[in-house]
Structure 1
Amino acid sequence: MEIKNVPLAEPYSSVDIYHSQSDVALPGVVIVPGGSYNKIMERDSERVAITLATHAFQAFVVRYPVLEHKGYRAAKRALAQTFDYLVDHAAELDLDPQRLGVLGFSAGGQLAAAYSNQPATKAKFVGLGYPVIRPLIDQRMGVTTEDVSQLVTKQTPATFMWGSIQDQLTPYLDHLAVYAQALAKQGVPFELHEFSTGGHGIALANKYTSIVNYDRADEHMAKWFPLFLDWLQQLKF
């Protein structure tokens, strides 16, 4: 595997590329980590990318502006530029751009959802883990965002979502339930798993991510990942 970082036009932004050599073009996933726009969480980034690579995906992590450079619109531009770069360089990355999707966690889920609803989106599928949907914690995060459920149209890509009923940062009724309702109203295919255990910011919920996440793991909630892979297989990705 070749791992490299490519700067983006948006200041203080880049994309980490985990390129698996392949004799056929592989599907790809752009990972958008969480971190409340204050950091790029390791639990949601390289460990998820490497795990996806073991399942024959080209994996990418977008590093959008955080801390003193943070901004919701700047982060959205960084994500759009990431997709543009990957599609333009698909051949050299052994990537099939028609099977390229986005996977976002927490605040990264908000960005992933926003990008997937852009008219010119290049995302063919969407994964949202305990996402921020409504701008209810903007003050806490120090940014001004938007209600991404209001952006959903009939053209929104098929979406897989999961969370925990124990999540107190992005409670189900305020976020995932709202987005699921918006998708249903527009007739967008989606799958939703709301686990009875686990919590917010738990990433893969297994030992591999718990090492960098205060030993936070949950065997039951960890089932979101094989469910996600099975969902993608059903969609022929």
Structure 2
Amino acid sequence: MKRGFLAIGALLAGVAAPELRAQQSAGDAAPPIEWRRGLVYARRDALELALDFARPASADRALPCVLAIHGGGWRQGRREDVHRVVERCVNAGFAAAAISYRLLPEHRFPAPWEDVCAAREFLAAHADELGLDPERCAAIGFSAGGHLALLLGTHDEGTEPGRPRVRAVGNFFGPTDLSASELPERAERLIADFLGASGDAAAPLRRAASPRAHVSAGDAWVRSFHGTDDALVPHAQATALHEALRAAGVPEALHSRIGAQHGWAREELEADLDRLLVRWRSELRGGGLHPLRLREDFESASEDGWWLSDAAAWRITGESGARALEIVAKRSSYAPKHRSPLHLAVRKDLAVESFVLDVDLRSTHASYGHRDLVLVCGWQDAEHFYYVHLGQQADATSHGVFLVDGAARRRLEGERGAGTPWGERWHRARLVRDVESGAIELYLDGVETPHLRAVDRRFLRGCIGVGSFDDTGRFDALRLYAAPGEAK
């Protein structure tokens, strides 16, 4: 059966949101949840707008918060429709709020967007009372709610300086470009109703209401979930948004449900929501989602800013538009005092605490057991730092998180999967450091569980870098997200 905007309220009320089960192990009781219902966050003439707030009853510290926004074609739906989403967020360790907002036909754009902004401001203003961290807030929405969540994460034109923003967005099949030519006729009718205008007169409103039009560096991180056979909000809406996010250097991920239409079965939706919350546990709860601090594509053909352990072993290689930082020689003249990687490129001008580092990397060495590349963090000096060793095979000295602390490197105890399947292709790595918990996590090629993980709080602030123990390889598309800090 085709599912459209006008049916999405029924979809979320009858299939997706309320029937989402609380996240828990089989046979385990869900942990107690503390609810505060009906908190009025704004008044519009005689209309009171309210939200329902929840957090783990046992929480004893400020928590990151998730704002849950129901769908319904901007015309129908209630905050109760996403209560189960809120419960699932709380059971994953977040505070969360389900909000009401003004609906058609009485209220058109920009009223709903103004309301979600007001709800975000209310949570920030009452952070101490509610026990949440105002700097770590995300928004999640379904269909029309996904559209509003995206606006909250991208649209800052005309807003007051310092207005609270969200740091991450979970967008489930929401429209992203209300000016797009591929929109079906029924979606066009809904958009005209939402904007209160059509034809040429609607053009400025279409742009103002389109998240894609407002994408810029520093926007919220976006994860979208969209069906490839969506007949109401075409899958092309999601791909176009994520192309714009990538071009702006905004962290993003698009998860496409093959063959799915506008919404999908409860079990699949639960799996996607869990996938989102797993990443947010690392990124939001782990102190991530910081501003972009360093963007390096090596197109300047210069190693300026990088300390190189052996300058003769490193080069910027490749043609314009496809350049990369490369280790070109296996041998190195660098002789570390203690056994540790020979090939290192470190950004000594940036000292960071919690961070997320994204980088493309490719091993160019022939295949053998200890074929490797490394990522460096917590760098104090050449005798004190961490490195994450992506080895082809896992053994005592290969493939793990290692510590160099005035002595030969040693592997930290922790989680590790099978070795790195280098092959002859590029891989995308994400290194996440959370100084609060001490976690160092390495994710590879978009897999949701860590490829490598260890916990250590020895070096809580330091520089980042790339390299290899003693092999060759290439690095490109490096993005460092971290809170502002002093140069080292």
User: Above 0.5 in TM-score?
Assistant: yes
Moved over 4 A (4+): 41-44
2:146 aligned partner: 109
* Residues 1:140 and 2:190 aligned together: yes
* Residues 1:155 and 2:229 aligned together: no
1:47 aligned partner: 84
Gaps of at least 5 residues in structure 2 are 1-33, 157-162, 196-205, 286-488
After superposition, the C-alpha distances for 1:111-169 in whole angstroms (9 at most, x for unaligned) are 11111113344201111110111224252252115222010000101111111112111
User: What is the CA distance between 1:39 and its match in structure 2?
Assistant: 0.9
Q: Structure 1 43/163 Cα, relative in aligned 2: closer, same or farther at 3 Å?
A: farther
Give me the whole-angstrom Cα distance separating, in 2, the residues matched to 1:97 and 1:133.
26
Give me the whole-angstrom Cα distance separating, in 2, the residues matched to 1:172 and 1:43.
28
Conservation of the 8 A alpha-carbon contact between 2:35 and 2:52 = no
Give me the whole-angstrom Cα distance separating, in 2, the residues matched to 1:191 and 1:43.
28
Give me the whole-angstrom Cα distance separating, in 2, the residues matched to 1:165 and 1:118.
26
Identity of aligned residues (%): 23
* Residue of 15, 19, 26 corresponding to 2:51: 15
User: What is the CA distance between 1:191 and its match in structure 2?
Assistant: 1.1
Give me the whole-angstrom Cα distance separating, in 2, the residues matched to 1:88 and 1:121.
9
Equivalent position SS for 2:43: coil
Give me the whole-angstrom Cα distance separating, in 2, the residues matched to 1:132 and 1:44.
20
Question: How many residue pairs end up in the alignment?
Answer: 222
* Residue of 217, 228, 253 corresponding to 1:165: 228
1:126 aligned partner: 169
* Residues 1:56 and 2:93 aligned together: yes
Larger relative strand fraction: 2
Give me the whole-angstrom Cα distance separating, in 2, the residues matched to 1:221 and 1:165.
15
Give me the whole-angstrom Cα distance separating, in 1, the residues matched to 2:254 and 2:65.
21
Equivalent position SS for 1:9: strand
* Residues 1:235 and 2:294 aligned together: no
TM-score (norm 2): 0.43
1:214 aligned partner: none
The one-letter amino acid paired with 1:14 is A
Give me the whole-angstrom Cα distance separating, in 2, the residues matched to 1:221 and 1:59.
18
Conservation of the 8 A alpha-carbon contact between 1:154 and 1:187 = yes
Give me the whole-angstrom Cα distance separating, in 1, the residues matched to 2:54 and 2:274.
21
The one-letter amino acid paired with 1:151 is H
* Residues 1:78 and 2:115 aligned together: yes
1:3 aligned partner: 36
Give me the whole-angstrom Cα distance separating, in 2, the residues matched to 1:149 and 1:19.
32
Q: Structure 1 169/44 Cα, relative in aligned 2: closer, same or farther at 3 Å?
A: farther
Equivalent position SS for 2:38: strand
Give me the whole-angstrom Cα distance separating, in 2, the residues matched to 1:66 and 1:201.
21
Give me the whole-angstrom Cα distance separating, in 1, the residues matched to 2:280 and 2:68.
15
Larger relative helix fraction: 1
Gaps of at least 5 residues in structure 1 are 207-218
Give me the whole-angstrom Cα distance separating, in 1, the residues matched to 2:165 and 2:79.
25
Q: Structure 1 75/236 Cα, relative in aligned 2: closer, same or farther at 3 Å?
A: closer
Conservation of the 8 A alpha-carbon contact between 1:26 and 1:95 = yes
Give me the whole-angstrom Cα distance separating, in 1, the residues matched to 2:141 and 2:239.
17
Q: Structure 1 114/42 Cα, relative in aligned 2: closer, same or farther at 3 Å?
A: closer
User: What is the CA distance between 1:24 and its match in structure 2?
Assistant: 1.0
Q: Structure 1 41/4 Cα, relative in aligned 2: closer, same or farther at 3 Å?
A: closer
Q: How does 1:85-104 map to 2 (within 5 A)?
A: 85-104=122-141
Give me the whole-angstrom Cα distance separating, in 2, the residues matched to 1:82 and 1:163.
26
2:324 aligned partner: none
TM-score (norm 1): 0.85
Larger Rg: 2
After superposition, the C-alpha distances for 1:167-211 in whole angstroms (9 at most, x for unaligned) are 1111101x1011111101101001110011443134xx42xxxxx
RMSD: 2.0
* Residues 1:199 and 2:261 aligned together: yes
2:273 aligned partner: 225
Conservation of the 8 A alpha-carbon contact between 2:155 and 2:211 = no
Give me the whole-angstrom Cα distance separating, in 2, the residues matched to 1:70 and 1:201.
25
The one-letter amino acid paired with 1:9 is R
Conservation of the 8 A alpha-carbon contact between 2:86 and 2:97 = yes
Q: Structure 1 41/164 Cα, relative in aligned 2: closer, same or farther at 3 Å?
A: farther
